[in-house]
Amino acid sequence: MTTAAALTIPFERIADPAVRDIAERIAEGRRLEGRDAAALYRTADLTGLGLVADAVNRARHGDVVTFASNQHINPTNICTLRTTCVFCGYARLPKEAGAYRYTLDQVLEEARTGNQGLTKEFHIVGGLDMKAGLEYYTTMFRALKAELPNVHIKALTAVEIAHIARIEKRSWAEVLTALQAAGLDTMPGGGAETFSAAVREEIANKKLGAADYIGVHRTAHGLGIRSNCTMLYGHVETIQDRVEHLQMLRDLQDETGGFLAFIPLAYHPDDNELGARLGRRGTATSGVADLKMLAVGRLFLDNFAHVKSHWIMVGTALSQIALHYGVNDLEGTVVREKIYHAVGAKTQQAMSLPELLGLIRGAGKVPAERDSFYNVIRTFDDDGEAA
Ligand code: V47
Ligand code: SF4
């Protein structure tokens, strides 16, 4: 397997002098500033940007691209923010058509049957449901661990943790400690959207603010609960908003080191109020924008080991190309994805192992299955069998 190597940037192939200048500073071990990230978002030299991001990624990870055998479970789509997160097509009010809240048996049934017993990680997120409080989730996690003790539980965004704390009148730390005792292992990165107060006012005016999103993750990291982080892009945010968002993530990572991966999320405009308001349908973001988000994430977030492409959002073809733009991890097998398929995602709801292996190998990379902490647990021979 090809492992990490020395940083080798092909400067002569970078057309934009601004990108070359930034690349030289990276080669000297200097940190990017916010204005550098802005310049990279603005450059027309996508190839140059990709070469730098690829070099930095290869220096860390060689040619290895990881994925997890994960399974998404969305236990409730009932959400108090249904009418105010205007980009969301998944949430429902309690009495609205299509509203659901799984019983414990339904969660267990989905956990058992979703992926023929191959799942190693459950990714559990849902709406801010007044009837899904601490006990709903502690009972669920205990039951999942009792039946499937080796499956990792990555569950509940910072927004959901703050919601549970509010309805239970407990602190974030108390809620997180109780969930951890019940089986919570790590937290996903959803709910970040774009941190800018002006953007939040426009797209999610009742949602937990940036400082609190960061605060919940800081509290989790302090308790030994590692987490991911995200940025929703391609809606109304400016380049400056994106840079400020990345800066806040990098600052917390400097402080705690608790983030595992950065995952940019491409906005999908179908079947949600914001898309209608903006008069947009179909493909939300451009391929260039998607690749830039991933590449700039790789370069600016120099204290993050992992940058993940979410094939459900940007498609499998773009995700494959992204493996040459700084990405070292792909969202895994997933199984029955609901949130993006509620807002027009046309991708599959799950990917099989042979499909994932083919996608990674087709990019000239070496696939490896990882655990939830990014340790490689399986490599593969040419027939797709464990090597
Ligand atoms: O917070 C909602 C986003 C997120 C739309 O941590 C939308 O491993 C695009 O965060 N268009 C939840 N995005 C999903 C998420 C996630 C996904 C995969 C892996 C991980 C991880 C986290 O989905 C929400 C919101 O930002 N979302 N609506 C939409 N119309
Ligand atoms: Fe609720 Fe999350 Fe949708 Fe907002 S994005 S309405 S918090 S489910």
**Atom 23 of ligand 1: nearest residue by CA position:** 190
Give the model confidence (pLDDT) of 306-357 as tens digits. Answer: 999 988 888 889 999 999 999 999 987 755 555 555 666 565 556 778 888 9
Ligand with minimal distance to 343 CA = 1
- Residues contacting 182, CB < 8 A, separation 6+: 137, 138, 139, 141, 142, 145
Distance (Å) from CA 80 to ligand 2 centroid: 8
Q: What is the pTM of this model?
A: 0.95
Cβ atoms 337, 72 nearer than 8 A: yes
pLDDT at 380: 87
Tokens at residue 244, please? 């400020």
CA of 81 to the centre of ligand 2 (A): 6
Protein residues whose CB sits closer than 6 Å to any atom of ligand 2: 79, 81-82, 85, 88, 90-91, 127-128, 159
* Mean pLDDT, residues 229-249 taken together: 97
pLDDT at 282: 73
Residue 144 CA to residue 140 CA, distance in Å, equals: 6
pLDDT of 240:
98
Opening angle at CA 115, ends 111 and 116, nearest 5: 100
Determine if ligand 1 sits within 6 Å of the CB of residue 272.
yes
Find out whether the beta carbon of 191 lies less than 6 Å from any atom of ligand 1: yes
Question: What's residue 162's pLDDT?
Answer: 98
- Give the pLDDT confidence score for residue 336 in this predicted structure: 53
Alpha-carbon torsion (19, 21, 24, 28), positive or negative = negative
Digit-coded pLDDT (tens) for 124-175:
999 999 999 999 999 999 999 999 999 999 999 999 999 999 999 999 999 9
Q: To the nearest whole number, what is the mean pLDDT of the chain?
A: 93
Probe residue for ligand 2, chosen from 74, 76, 78, 79 as the CB with the greatest number of ligand atoms within 8 Å: 79
pLDDT tens, position by position, 15-60: 999 999 999 999 999 999 999 999 999 999 999 999 999 999 999 9
| pLDDT score of 172 | 98
- Spacing, Cα 13 to ligand 1 middle (Å): 35
Give the residue-averaged pLDDT of 80-86: 97
Instruction: Tell me the CA distances in angstroms from 372 to 7, 170, 185, 187, 275, one per residue in order.
Output: 27, 28, 9, 11, 34
Q: Residue 163: nearest ligand to its CA?
A: 2
Give the percent of the chain with pLDDT over 70. Answer: 91
- Token readout for 247 is 């800066």
* Nearest-CA residue for atom 8 of ligand 2: 127
Query: Does residue 264's CB lie within 6 angstroms of at least one atom of ligand 1?
Result: no
Q: Specify the residue with its C-alpha closest to ligand 2, atom 2.
A: 127
Tokens of 360: 């990674």
Q: 223 alpha carbon to ligand 2 midpoint, in Å?
A: 26
What is the per-residue pLDDT across 175-214, written as a single tens digit (0 to 9) for each? 999 999 999 999 999 999 999 999 999 999 999 999 999 9
